[in-house]
């Protein structure tokens, strides 16, 4: 039990399964390392009755590295800066349209299913990166922990099914796919786009940042309406 309180336990329980599933995914394309690792960690903790707080000691170190990893997304953006600049209007238009549709569709879905206001507010900013999503949910009066869950699930779903779904819809260019993945599936989807191609990954990284700014601005009138009219 003392070992469980050591950060090495949480770090090892994350890295070792991920690398194992990643190596398997190179042979079996059906395997998604992120989804399989998440499922493995949950099952491992439940089956051995290990408190999440024990894993979190090392898991927080992994979370801390999200900051540098996010900053590192500037590298592909820099490498493809010319292509992004040449296609900036359609990319930004896609980011704007995707952000609006994402907000409206998420809120409308929860409303039609009978969800309350707090649940609606927790769901609406699901397509932007987790730090932005949590702050928006807090401002609207939703449940931040639930908002973070919706955000992570959205990214995972986009990473697993996004590229194949877009191709079935006739979207097959790096420009369009990158803009769609970055706008709808934030960092997790961007990681998948980087694996697809450098250009697609760079556009997805740019779109993730642009969508975060656009979504934050779009929620200003929503926040004003909630606090003055409702």
Is the pLDDT assigned to residue 141 strictly greater than 80? yes
Given a cut of 80, whether residue 4 has pLDDT beyond it is no
Average pLDDT for 6-29: 86
pLDDT at 9: 84
- What pLDDT score was predicted for residue 191? 82
- Counting residues of the chain whose pLDDT is more than 70, the rounded percentage is 97
The CA–CA distances, whole Å, from 213 to 107, 124, 183, 184 equal 19, 15, 11, 13
Structure tokens at 200: 């697609």
Whole-number pLDDT of residue 190: 86
The single residue listed with the structure tokens 């969800």 is 115
Which pTM does this prediction carry? Answer: 0.81
Q: Which pLDDT value is given to residue 115?
A: 85
pLDDT, position 69: 74
Which pLDDT value is given to residue 11?
86
pLDDT, mean of residues 1-26: 84
Q: Is the pLDDT of residue 230 over 70?
A: no
Q: pLDDT (tens digit, 9 = 90+) per residue, 58-86? A: 777 877 777 777 777 788 888 888 989 99
Which positions ≥6 away from 175 have C-beta within 8 Å? 87, 90, 91, 199, 200, 203
Q: Is the pLDDT of residue 178 over 70?
A: yes
**Arithmetic mean of pLDDT over the chain:** 86
The answer to whether residue 189 scores a pLDDT higher than 90 is: no
Residue 211's pLDDT is: 92
Helix (H) or strand (E) holding 56: helix 52-64
> Does pLDDT of 121 surpass 80?
yes
Per-residue pLDDT tens over the stretch 156-174: 888 888 888 888 988 888 8
pLDDT, residue 91, reads 93
Each residue's pLDDT tens digit, 87-119: 999 999 999 999 999 999 998 999 999 888 889
Domain boundaries, the chain: 3-64, 74-228
Distance of alpha carbon 189 from alpha carbon 205, whole angstroms: 9
pLDDT of residue 229: 65
Of 113, 106, 80, the closest CA to residue 179 belongs to: 80
């Amino acid at each position: 039990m003392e070992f469980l309180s050591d950060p090495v336990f949480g770090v090892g329980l994350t890295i070792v399964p991920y690398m194992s599933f990643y190596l398997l995914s190179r042979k079996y394309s059906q395997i998604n390392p992120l989804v399989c690792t998440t499922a493995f960690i949950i099952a491992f903790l439940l089956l051995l009755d290990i408190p999440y707080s024990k894993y979190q000691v090392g898991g927080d170190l992994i979370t801390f590295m999200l900051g540098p990893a996010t900053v590192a997304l500037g590298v592909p953006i820099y490498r493809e800066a010319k292509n992004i600049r040449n296609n900036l209007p359609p990319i930004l238009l896609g980011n704007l349209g995707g952000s609006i549709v994402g907000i409206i569709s998420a809120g409308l879905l929860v409303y039609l299913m009978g969800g309350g206001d707090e649940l609606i507010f927790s769901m609406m900013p699901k397509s932007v990166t987790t730090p932005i999503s949590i702050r928006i949910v807090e401002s609207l009066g939703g449940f931040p922990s639930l908002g973070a869950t919706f955000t992570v699930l959205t990214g995972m779903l986009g990473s697993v099914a996004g590229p194949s779904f877009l191709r079935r819809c006739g979207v097959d260019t790096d420009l369009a796919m990158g803009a769609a993945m970055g706008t709808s599936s934030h960092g997790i989807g961007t990681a998948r786009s980087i694996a697809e191609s450098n250009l697609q990954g760079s556009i997805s990284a740019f779109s993730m940042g642009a969508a975060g700014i656009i979504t934050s601005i779009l929620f200003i009138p929503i926040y004003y309406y909630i606090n003055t009219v409702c």
